[in-house]
């Protein structure tokens, strides 16, 4: 977390609050995916809170919960996501997917495509996707993580999809050296209101395509779009698998189930459903 010495935690004039009323007016419509939008000042985790509300029956599908600050934001593998107040976009959406459960694994990849496309247009920054759920930019010639995505199943028929994006973090505020922000990547605009609108509209668009094709990643063009934006493909990678094993090889494809296909030096292709990916060297031709 950045230091707040010399000013109140909420008084940074470069980081104005989100306009909840304007966001609702722009996004929550009768024909929209989004049924409601709430902005809270500070919360532990938007994913945990929205999942709890869904279980209690007080949140409906299409609910959007946005936090100006998360004190216990969740990443994969129970990692914590922290950032200074109003320095990013930290939100979760509640979905009741119509496609078969076997295709729900595409939701974080769908979110990645939606986020990267929306931010490329709205912020004017080249974006990349690192399988399975990181959003990257390039700062100072190096790839930096500016966003993360986390999908969690709630009950039998719902999913909470959480998205965290670093927007205005300064160098001294970055949690780790591999992190970045849209501002540090040279974004043309860092006003969070239009960025959030763009991301939620992009998510609505891709979710609609995926739903209309009954979750088929090929028919919805989701697989094609993800492969085009995934900078992991073509790289030599080390996959740190659940349980402690490792796999090293070239990431050659994303298959129809959203798994990363890694080819070993012996030419054996192994699909990976879950794991931490380390990019060992750039793709050929970079």
Q: How far is CA 277 from CA 47, 62, 64, 130, 182, in A?
A: 23, 31, 30, 8, 22
- Tens-place pLDDT, residues 146-170: 999 999 999 999 999 999 999 999 9
- Tens-place pLDDT, residues 224-273: 999 999 999 999 999 998 888 899 999 999 999 999 999 998 889 999 99
Cα 191 to Cα 127: distance, rounded to the nearest angstrom: 18
Q: What is the pLDDT of residue 80?
A: 59
Q: How many other C-beta atoms can be found within 10 angstroms of the C-beta atom of residue 172?
A: 7
| Assigned CATH for 20-228 | 3.30.930.10
Confidence check: pLDDT of 6 > 50? no
Q: How confident is the model at residue 93 (pLDDT cuts 50, 70, 90)?
A: very high
- CATH 2.30.30.100 given to domain 232-281: yes
Q: What is the pLDDT of residue 2?
A: 41
Confidence check: pLDDT of 283 > 80? no
- 33-42, 107-116, 215-224, 265-274, range with the lowest pLDDT: 265-274
Q: What is the pLDDT of residue 285?
A: 47
Confidence check: pLDDT of 114 > 90? yes
Cα 165 to Cα 180: distance, rounded to the nearest angstrom: 10
Q: What is the pLDDT of residue 28?
A: 98
Confidence check: pLDDT of 76 > 90? no
Confidence check: pLDDT of 33 > 50? yes
- Answer yes or no: same fold for 20-228 and 232-281: no
- pTM: predicted TM-score of the whole model, two decimal places: 0.92
Q: How confident is the model at residue 5 (pLDDT cuts 50, 70, 90)?
A: very low
Query: In the chain, pLDDT over 90 holds for what percent of residues?
Result: 82
- Tens-place pLDDT, residues 64-73: 999 999 997 6
- Please name the residues in contact with 226: beta carbons below 8 A apart, sequence gap of 6 or more: 109, 110, 112, 113, 129, 217, 254
Q: What is the pLDDT of residue 41?
A: 97
Q: Where are the domains of the chain?
A: 20-228, 232-281
Q: What is the pLDDT of residue 266?
A: 87
Please state at what angle helix 222-229 crosses helix 192-212, rounded to 10 degrees: 140
Q: What is the pLDDT of residue 79?
A: 55
Confidence check: pLDDT of 48 > 80? yes
- 101-105, 175-179, 196-200, 213-217, range with the lowest pLDDT: 175-179
Q: How confident is the model at residue 83 (pLDDT cuts 50, 70, 90)?
A: confident
Q: Which tokens hold the place of 42?
A: 């500070």
Confidence check: pLDDT of 17 > 50? yes
């Amino acid at each position: 977390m950045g230091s707040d010495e010399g000013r109140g935690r909420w008084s940074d004039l470069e980081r104005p609050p989100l306009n909840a009323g304007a966001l609702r007016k722009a996004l929550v419509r009768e024909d929209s995916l989004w049924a409601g939008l709430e902005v809270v000042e500070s919360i532990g985790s938007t994913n945990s809170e929205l999942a709890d509300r869904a279980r209690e029956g007080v949140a409906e599908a299409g609910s959007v919960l946005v936090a100006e600050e998360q004190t216990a934001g969740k990443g994969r593998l129970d990692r914590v996501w922290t950032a200074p107040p109003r320095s990013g976009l930290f939100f979760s959406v509640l979905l009741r997917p119509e496609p078969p459960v076997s295709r729900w694994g595409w939701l974080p990849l769908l979110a990645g495509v939606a986020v990267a496309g929306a931010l490329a247009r709205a912020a004017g920054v080249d974006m990349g996707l690192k399988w399975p759920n990181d959003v990257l930019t390039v700062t100072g010639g190096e790839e930096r993580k500016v966003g993360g995505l986390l999908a969690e199943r709630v009950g039998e028929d719902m999913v909470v999809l959480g998205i965290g994006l670093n927007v205005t973090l300064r160098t001294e505020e970055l949690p780790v050296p591999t992190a970045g922000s849209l501002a540090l990547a040279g974004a043309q605009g860092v006003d969070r209101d239009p960025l959030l609108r763009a991301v939620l509209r992009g998510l609505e668009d891709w979710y609609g395509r995926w739903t209309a094709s009954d979750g088929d990643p090929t028919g919805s063009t989701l697989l094609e779009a993800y492969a085009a934006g995934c900078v992991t493909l073509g790289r030599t990678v080390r996959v740190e698998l659940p349980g402690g094993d490792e796999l090293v090889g070239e990431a050659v494809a994303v298959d129809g189930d959203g798994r990363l296909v890694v080819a070993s030096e012996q030419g054996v292709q192994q699909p990976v459903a879950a794991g931490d990916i380390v990019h060992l060297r750039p793709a050929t031709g970079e």
